[in-house]
Amino acid sequence: MADSRRQQIEQALDQVATPYVGRGLLASGSVQSLAFEGDTLKLRLQLGFPAAGIVAELVETVQQQLAGIAGLAGTDVEVGWEVPNNCARHALPAIGDVRNIIAVASGKGGVGKSTCAVNLALALAAEGGRVGLLDGDIYGPSQQIMLGVSDEQRPRQHGDKHLLPIEAHGLQTMSMGYLTTSKTPMVWRGPMASSALQQMVGQTLWQGLDYLVIDLPPGTGDIQLTLSQRVPVSGAVIITTPQDIALLDAIKGVEMFRKVEVPVLGVIENMAWHSCSNCGHKDFVFGQGGGDRLAQEYGVEMLGSLPLSQSIRQQADSGNPTVAAEPASETSAIYRDMARRIGAALWLRAIDTEAGVPTIQMVDD
């Protein structure tokens, strides 16, 4: 490849912003290889997060950017991804075959945290990730119902120490609800519940996960502290509503994760508005802009806002969450956008801790 044309191509590629990252494709290390077949450029891009929903858009943008380069007949663009292993970079020992652990938390109950957790896990999987979901609410597990797993289904044992996760909607899942009945209360003190969480995380045989999403109980108690001190959590996502009371508790969640040095990947504002089924008018039932104010005050990303919708509740209650039930819906699109943002944030953390970016493979024409 002539040096001048190579330089033109590199300059053009670095003018294309890496999605959700804010850096050019070269600066983010997303250009894996360049090669020529005649006057056609063969370009391989590799992102650090699953991004199936934006591949076509990215390919079109790159092709348009390179179209004006003299002597270039066309560009074939291939886009893939490899999720970085942030668990391996953590001071705590890694958990089995898991690359990233995402804690989904809320300062108080009733804000839709579990619904958000299951739909975020499904959205990461829909984008092309290998995803697990752990129900970390020992006292009130709900993911078994949301995933449509029957009361009779129990995880199988593997060897003396491990349980095999139950697959549901393409996710590897584990919950205390799988180990008890729906009518069995967990009358345990905090240390017992914390120990149970550790065992479910560490003794489930997770297989090749890019992301393990942990749905935490509400609050900032024993279980949250145990998770942050004993498990290599890659980052936390805080769920809130615009309501002032919920925001006050969400602030406590942000502060707690900061004190235990778990990065907060962003805030999700749930039940942000309600759209009238007749006219489509938006009502901001719980107030407006609270999530944005929280994100700005604490310097974290506002990942997105979700509507207050009867269908979201009905789908979760029926064991078929929104991203699985209505993959083409507006709400599913919001979840998938947030999933990409979370994946990109974890990738950026990995990029910023590495010495450099990958070397581009060049093949001369």
Only one residue has tokens 């990730």, namely: 129
What share of the chain has pLDDT > 90, as a percent?
53
Instruction: For 98-116, write each residue's pLDDT tens digit.
Output: 999 999 999 888 899 999 9
Give the chain's domains with CATH numbers: 3-82+353-362 (3.30.300.130), 87-327 (3.40.50.300)
Residue 218 has which token pair?
Answer: 């509400």
Average pLDDT over residues 172-178: 92
Q: Is the pLDDT of residue 68 over 70?
A: yes
- When pLDDT is averaged across residues 270-285 and rounded to a whole number, the result is 79
Going by C-beta distance under 8 Å and a sequence separation of 6 or more, which residues neighbour residue 108?
218, 219, 245, 246, 249, 250
For 64, the enclosing helix (H) or strand (E) is helix 55-66
3-state helix, strand, coil in the chain (%, to 5): 35, 20, 40
Q: Looking at residue 189, what is its pLDDT?
A: 63
Tokens of 137: 């609410």
Residue found by looking up tokens 């719980």 in the block: 286
Confidence of residue 356 (pLDDT cuts 50, 70, 90): very low
Q: Does the pLDDT at position 275 exceed 90?
A: no
The answer to whether 187 and 174 are in contact (CB under 8 A) is no
Q: What is the pLDDT of residue 361?
A: 52
Residue 220 has pLDDT above 80, yes or no: no
Residue 86, pLDDT above cutoff 60: yes
The β-bridge relationship of strands 282-283 and 274-275 is antiparallel
Measure the CA–CA gap between 48 and 30, rounded to whole angstroms: 8
The pLDDT of residue 214 is above 70: yes
pLDDT score for 122: 98
When pLDDT is averaged across residues 19-30 and rounded to a whole number, the result is: 93
What tokens appear for 356 in the block? 């450099």
Give me the pLDDT at residue 223, please.
Answer: 83
CB contact burial 291-306 (16+ within 10 A = b; e otherwise): beebbeeeebbbbbbb
> What is the average pLDDT value for the chain, to the nearest integer?
88
Res 353 pLDDT > 80: no
pLDDT at 348 over 80: yes
Predicted confidence at residue 181, as pLDDT, reads 64
Mean pLDDT, rounded, for 45-61: 97
Tens-place pLDDT, residues 183-205: 665 556 667 778 888 888 989 99
Mean of pLDDT values over 159-180: 91
- The reported pLDDT for the residue numbered 2 is 61
Task: Report whether pLDDT(118) > 90.
Answer: yes
What SS3 state is found at 196?
Answer: helix
Average pLDDT over residues 311-317: 92
Measured distance CA(271)–CA(8) in Å, rounded: 48
Q: What is the mean pLDDT of residues 70-78?
A: 86
pTM for the full predicted model:
0.91
pLDDT band with cut points at 50, 70 and 90 for residue 264: very high
Q: What percent of the chain has pLDDT over 70?
A: 93
Give which of 132, 211, 200 is closest to 171, Cα–Cα: 132
